[in-house]
Structure 1
């Protein structure tokens, strides 16, 4: 049995509420075989494999990749492929024919990349996709001076089975999680409690350049944020607290996010009171929550927890009450690093 196959009954139950959910990044309304499909994809920094949690059947499958560490994962139903950022080979790898692989009888399948980008990355952390463009956040030191904050956003073009680097954007802060909301790219300001946005990111930044964010605000109550997720007006932000503490993590739920973000001036603070719900405490299993996904239709928050218990994939259903709540799902996944939620319904 797959070592990550835990609490299957809940995943089946959770799947009932998730099958009406919509994928937050991909505009596709169907999968290649017109089947009901609701999955959570997870990468990790232990063996670099891709774990696929099927929310309908309850099955958990492992796609064994050639990477040994990976952060950032994305599933495209139109092409039936997974794109993953490899930290061991410093490139993007695309794996095709995913539906056929997952419909097989084996729960452990070795996969080889159908195509890959050049090895131009140095320390990839997250992936965000907009149309035929794949953006990768990279937190390697750019100028060689550790006292100055910087990072890079690599923009790749997907075309005819190729991933080609279009251009690189240098930022004046260190990066971690990124997320498209429409044409705007939101980015975590690593080592802080700040969130930045780049308006019309891919259309505005078409050549190698250095840019400042359109706007940056602080999120009160967060020590150090890493992961973010957005769906239907709600933003989730994780708080890793101290990287050395495996029990001080949290996440914040910000409903009506667009209005609240727009209501704070550049450099201002979004206060907790009447704006945010915080989930934290000993019952949560949160230590270093490095990535998040959110399904608004089922009101479920998914977390990639890198440290607590060695690494976990957690799910919190109806977390609106906040506080010290237990996860509805608590699955072991060593050094879990990133997530992607997909549903075709």
Structure 2
């Protein structure tokens, strides 16, 4: 695998040496990314080449992008701390976290060197959620190897300066994928179901242990959720629905839930949040087939989607969806095997 990575870097370095060209807070976890910058950017990772693409979506009618070259061949969860100009993604090649400093002013085609290399101790890293100096990664590998007993892992890492170390590991009694913080509570999708779960005061669990969720509820009208994000200022939760695993092209959607806290609290453990309390966007015009991750900008009321399946992969954006239904995206750009999105303002 390492030799393949070196080949990738050698080829791309040659290409970028010939021609450097540039194409013309979603997660409530962040306490380091609250600057009132004029620009709005979406960071995206993928499972096609492992590079990081940054979209300037300040003007949705004139989106520009640049791609930074990494040593990974595939990657998932991505995160950016604008205060410290620190970029992070979960590598599915090295099975660990890779951090990059001082990326803000790099041009498209720049080859990144890993400045902060976490331990390579995961099996199948997916989404990343950050709270202070703690980084949580959802790993969807089957822990006990028995498909009849769903389980997963949540890896908790500590970042101190240019060092990332594993603090502890939590084994869950359901398969995991997307995760997001709401204050100190961690919300997680219950993969292969239409459920979400919450672990209250999640980071107070400081030892390796097996942990059941504080509460699990089903989302009516949703088939199989993957992406999840929460915005504290607007109290909005957004979930993606990948539909049937056998259909990656046109049966996906997303659910937009306003006044989330009251609605979630109003459903008993094991209960169902009614479809009437949500907005669902789905249908052939949406281009949603396998939407695996989501970010939300409350200011512009725009939902950004990492679509892994339709057309081979896309980054999509939607607004004016108050009535839900089969609507077209306002942004539609190709990104092969898109896997994760993160909003930075």
TM-score, length-scaled by structure 2: 0.89
How does 1:78-93 map onto structure 2 within 5 Å?
A: 78-93=83-98
Work out the CA distance in 1 between the residues paired with 2:68 and 2:57.
17
How does 1:195-234 map onto structure 2 within 5 Å?
A: 195-203=196-204, 205-231=205-231, 232-234=234-236
How does 1:92-171 map onto structure 2 within 5 Å?
A: 92-101=97-106, 106-171=107-172
Residue 301 of structure 2 is aligned with which of 299, 314, 317? 299
Q: Equivalent residue for 1:266?
A: 269
SS in 1 for 2:90: strand
How does 1:43-82 map onto structure 2 within 5 Å?
A: 43-56=45-58, 58-82=63-87
- Give the C-alpha shift of residue 289 in structure 1: 0.4
SS in 2 for 1:283: helix
User: Do the aligned partners of residues 22 and 194 (structure 1) sit closer, same or farther apart at CA in structure 2, a change above 3 Å counting?
Assistant: closer
- Give the C-alpha shift of residue 36 in structure 1: 3.2
Q: Equivalent residue for 2:330?
A: 328
SS in 2 for 1:111: coil
User: What whole-Å deviation, never above 9, does each CA across 1:119-171 have from its counterpart, x for those lacking one?
Assistant: 11100110000000000000101112121100000000000210100000000
Q: Equivalent residue for 1:17?
A: none
8 Å contact from structure 2 (residues 28, 181) kept in 1: no
User: Do the aligned partners of residues 206 and 69 (structure 1) sit closer, same or farther apart at CA in structure 2, a change above 3 Å counting?
Assistant: same
User: Do the aligned partners of residues 80 and 281 (structure 1) sit closer, same or farther apart at CA in structure 2, a change above 3 Å counting?
Assistant: same
Structure 2 unmatched runs, 5+: 1-18
SS in 2 for 1:99: coil
Q: CA RMSD in A?
A: 1.9
User: Do the aligned partners of residues 150 and 158 (structure 1) sit closer, same or farther apart at CA in structure 2, a change above 3 Å counting?
Assistant: same
Work out the CA distance in 1 between the residues paired with 2:20 and 2:42.
16
- Give the C-alpha shift of residue 81 in structure 1: 0.7
User: Do the aligned partners of residues 3 and 230 (structure 1) sit closer, same or farther apart at CA in structure 2, a change above 3 Å counting?
Assistant: farther
- Residue 27 (str. 1) matches residue 31 (str. 2): yes
Work out the CA distance in 1 between the residues paired with 2:136 and 2:58.
30
User: What whole-Å deviation, never above 9, does each CA across 1:54-104 have from its counterpart, x for those lacking one?
Assistant: 123742010110001100000012321111000111000001102232xxx
SS in 1 for 2:246: coil
User: Do the aligned partners of residues 30 and 211 (structure 1) sit closer, same or farther apart at CA in structure 2, a change above 3 Å counting?
Assistant: closer
Structure 1 unmatched runs, 5+: 9-20
SS in 2 for 1:98: coil
How does 1:308-323 map onto structure 2 within 5 Å?
A: 308-323=310-325
Q: Equivalent residue for 2:174?
A: 173
User: Do the aligned partners of residues 300 and 4 (structure 1) sit closer, same or farther apart at CA in structure 2, a change above 3 Å counting?
Assistant: farther
- Give the C-alpha shift of residue 109 in structure 1: 1.2
Deviating above 6 A after TM superposition, structure 1's stretches of 4 or more consecutive aligned residues are 1-4
TM-score, length-scaled by structure 1: 0.89
The answer to which of 264-273 and 106-115 deviates more is: 106-115
